[in-house]
């Protein structure tokens, strides 16, 4: 049975997450990333703010998304294995597509409310693990409006959210010497926070407010040129956010 297995229960299908079956293969993949990818394909500089990363228990990493390799760099530099959420198309990329299959990345169908992906994310969090979310739903040089999925998952699970600023990944993976002479990836983890309980089941407008407030926290960790939709920090509010 797959580590993310679909079982029939009373005529319905449900996803069952098997943490133990995945840990060994993930540590092997991380060794390959460290010994191969970070020496040949991508330049990694440093990670900052590790004191904000929990040693145990569930958490949600919320990143800005510049380049294809962002989630790989983040998961490789942290002391625990994490489970990224990524567009389902990454499974179909030649050569690279084998990585999400082995790691069991959570596939997300863009352009719709992917309830299966949301259930899978909640299963991973209930197992005490960490997921990674790029709330913009796509990558680009500056922030776009965040999707409300991150607020939904955080409010339903109660897991803390850790904003993660990514910089220096543009142009990787690369074998070009010129790119390697430039600065490499820098990952910065911000202070964790939880969403204050708005209601048992937040409505769409409440999720929108929660998401925008979280995105402003992330924007405040980024250079001004990367803030995009959230450039005006004077509009930031924290009515739904509680710093931990």
User: At 45, is the pLDDT very low, low, confident or very high (cuts 50, 70, 90)?
Assistant: very high
pLDDT higher than 70, residue 1: no
Phi, psi dihedral angles at 41 (to 5 degrees): -105, -30
Q: Per-domain residue ranges for the chain?
A: 18-243
Helix axes 149-157, 204-219, angle to 10 degrees: 100
Helix axes 149-157, 115-126, angle to 10 degrees: 40
User: 21-27 long-range contacts, Cβ below 8 Å, gap at least 24?
Assistant: 22/81, 22/103, 22/104, 23/81, 25/102, 25/103, 26/81, 26/103, 27/81
Return the pLDDT at 200: 65
User: At 3, is the pLDDT very low, low, confident or very high (cuts 50, 70, 90)?
Assistant: very low
Return the pLDDT at 14: 54
Closest by Cα among 133, 184, 186, 206 to 163: 133
Q: Do residues 213 and 230 make contact, with C-beta atoms less than 8 angstroms apart?
A: no
**1-10, 20-29, 87-96, 221-230, range with the lowest pLDDT:** 1-10
pLDDT digits (tens, 9 = 90+) for 179-229: 999 999 999 999 999 998 766 678 899 999 999 999 999 999 999 999 999
User: Which pair of tokens denotes residue 169?
Assistant: 């990944």
Return the pLDDT at 151: 95
pLDDT higher than 90, residue 128: yes
Task: Give CATH for domain 18-243.
Answer: 3.40.1130.10
> At 183, is the secondary structure helix, strand, or coil?
coil
């Amino acid at each position: 049975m797959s580590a993310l297995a679909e079982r029939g229960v009373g005529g319905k299908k449900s996803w069952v997450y098997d943490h133990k079956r995945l840990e060994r293969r993930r540590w092997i993949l991380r060794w390959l990333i460290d010994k191969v990818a970070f020496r040949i394909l991508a330049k990694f500089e440093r990670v900052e703010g590790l004191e904000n990363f929990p040693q145990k228990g569930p958490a949600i990493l919320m990143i800005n998304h510049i380049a294809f390799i962002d989630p790989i760099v983040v998961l490789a530099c942290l002391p625990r294995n994490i489970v990224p959420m990524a567009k389902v198309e990454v499974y179909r990329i030649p050569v690279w597509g084998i990585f999400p299959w082995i790691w069991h990345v959570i596939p997300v169908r863009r352009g719709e409310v992917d309830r299966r992906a949301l259930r899978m994310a909640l299963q991973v969090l209930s197992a005490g693990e960490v997921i990674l979310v790029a709330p913009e739903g796509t990558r680009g040089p500056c922030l776009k409006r965040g999707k409300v999925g991150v607020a939904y998952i955080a409010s339903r699970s109660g897991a803390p959210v850790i904003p993660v600023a990514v910089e220096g990944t543009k142009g990787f993976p690369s074998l070009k010497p010129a790119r390697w002479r430039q600065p490499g990836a820098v990952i910065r983890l911000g202070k964790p926070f939880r969403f204050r309980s708005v209601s048992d089941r937040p409505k769409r407008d409440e999720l929108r407010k929660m998401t925008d407030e979280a995105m402003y926290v992330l924007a405040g960790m980024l250079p001004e040129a990367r803030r995009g939709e959230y450039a005006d920090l004077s509009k930031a509010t924290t009515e739904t956010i509680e710093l931990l």
